[in-house]
Chain A
Amino acid sequence: MARKWSNESKPYEILIVTRLKKIKISYIAYLRTILDKSLKNVKFKTTIILVMLSIIVPSTVVAQLSSAKKARAMQKAVYFWNFAQGCDWPDEHRSGNFVIGIYGDNELFTALIKGYSSLKRGSQPFKIVEINEVSQINGCHMLYVDEAKKNVLESKRKALKSSATLIITNQKGILNEGSMINFVYPTPLTEFEVSKSNASKSKLVIGKDISSMAVAVR
């Protein structure tokens, strides 16, 4: 009986599978037509993205050389703040405006004007002066002389000495020519060296906070 059942069931099973396959194949053919039709409507939207990119991307390309110059000027402006706070001037120079003269660096002048206009050194309000002529350098508490204007150090040596002006420069080896704080670039960083002896000749004292951060002290 068991064997007979087995013999009968085998073709029956095949029959069922065959029937189902036929049905399945026709259903699948039907589904395929639906799928093919619907797939035609699905396109990916590269064009839209590209249009969008062409609108947005140009606004991101704003790397400017002048921005780098502004950044360096801001960096120096922070140094100036520290130099003003960390050095000592003779008593007779501790009243009235605290004058910072900038000779030959318009970016630095702009950064100081923007940043220092409402600040004070103790009770002395900052006054930022752009030096256009050598005659204007008298009376500065701090004077920045750019590389291109370095000759002024020689021509105005006496006047600068008597006015207790902290001379800040930006050229290799210029401490020998009377500069007191000089920006140097032994690495990609902006660093500085100091000449305490040059400062003391003008009755100025460069504080420890400054000299401890200098790459070289004379």
Chain B
Amino acid sequence: MNQIIYIAFFLIAASTITAQQTNWEQAVLCYQKDSLICASEKIDLAIKDSNEVKDPYTWHVRAFIYREIYKTSSNEQEKNLAREKSVEAFARSLSLDKEDEQKLKTNNIKGLESIATGLYNEGVNCLQIFEVEKGMEFFEKHNKTLKLIDENYVIQEREISIKKAAAAILTDRYNDDNEGNSDAFNKAIEYYNDILKIDSNDFKTNLNIGVLYHNKGINLLTGTRLDLTLPEIMKLQKNHVFYMQKSLQYMTKAYQTDKNHPGVIRALAGAYYSLHDDEKHEFYNQKLIKLEGTEGAE
């Protein structure tokens, strides 16, 4: 009899304890038991609860649960959705706990940074297989995630690295087919200019953008039809001059950084030759001869 009373008491006590637990607490218990399905169900209920939805802890736990789902899922769609939910939850927790009253701020920031890094890495993976557009989409998501922490949060080192790589791939694509890939040319220029906004003296970027413009100007003429009319060739020439002058602008900047780089000097000599500035062409040509013992031959 005593035993029955004891069991009844235990069941009542247990059910009372369960009833007192919030959805997010139950979600954490599921999470601890590695049951992500249960955890996600409970935490989804938590954000529908009018009290729990205002609690930064609810969103914090939700962020971790969905982050784990994102990490463990093999389904691409499910993975992306879980990551988005996790980012949203970290951000909501961060905004609800702005003053760090509940000491969640550091972890929310770390969580967002970690997801941003994951996005960046996925972008890099795409670039490695030359999928520039997809890679840069990931990088944009990376930037948006960081901006949830702080509107001005930018990791310049990453921006420079990924845009240099993307621009290099696009340049290669443009070189393969000048006419068919004019979008690649424009996008490469855009990425290089983004880098120069961060560091206007970046030597390789100035050199590469200068080369892009130089080659664009040259290709206009070397790839032309011979039966153009005089007005047509005049118009083509004006475009050629425009690109050579643009090339000069960047090459001159690169030259200020390294006055003995043969590639830069060769490009300067070529640009001044194209623009009929014989004096400057000769200056750079002589410099090239001193450096390499020959003028800029291919």
Give A contacts to B, CB under 8 Å: 20, 23-25, 27-28, 30-32, 34-35, 38-39, 42-46, 48-50, 52-53, 56-57, 59-72, 74-75, 77-79, 81-82, 115-116, 119, 185, 188-190, 209-210, 213
Contact = CB atoms under 8 A, between A and B. Distances in A.
Given A24-B57, A46-B157, A65 B269 contact: yes
Given A45-B124, A60-B211, A74-B221, A32 B298 contact: no
Contacts of B60: 28, 31
B230 A65 contact: no
A38 B247 contact: no
Contacts of B172: 56, 59-60
Contacts of A48: 124, 128
A42 B204 CA distance: 29
Contacts of B178: none
Nearest to B269: A65
A38 B110 CA distance: 11
Given A46-B161, A60-B175, A63-B247, A190 B237 contact: yes
Contact of B230 (A42, A44, A185, A210): A210
Interface of B: 22, 25, 28, 32, 57, 60-61, 64, 71, 102-104, 107, 110-111, 114, 117-118, 120-121, 124-125, 127-128, 157-158, 161-162, 164-165, 168-169, 171-172, 175, 204, 207-208, 210-212, 214-215, 217-218, 220-222, 224-231, 233-234, 237-238, 240-241, 244-245, 247, 251, 263, 266-267, 269-271, 273-277, 285, 288, 295-298
Contacts of B111: 35
B23 to A, nearest CB: 13
Contacts of A78: 224-228, 233
A46 B266 CA distance: 31
A75 B223 CA distance: 10
B64 A63 contact: no
Contacts, number: 189
A66 B297 contact: yes
Nearest to B111: A35
Nearest to B223: A74
Nearest to B142: A44
A210 B231 CA distance: 10
A34 B64 contact: yes
24 contacts: A24-B57, A27-B28, A27-B57, A31-B107, A32-B107, A34-B64, A39-B114, A44-B117, A49-B165, A53-B168, A60-B172, A60-B208, A63-B210, A63-B263, A64-B266, A65-B297, A67-B215, A67-B298, A68-B269, A68-B274, A78-B225, A78-B228, A119-B227, A210-B230
B30 to A, nearest CB: 12
Contacts of B215: 62-63, 67
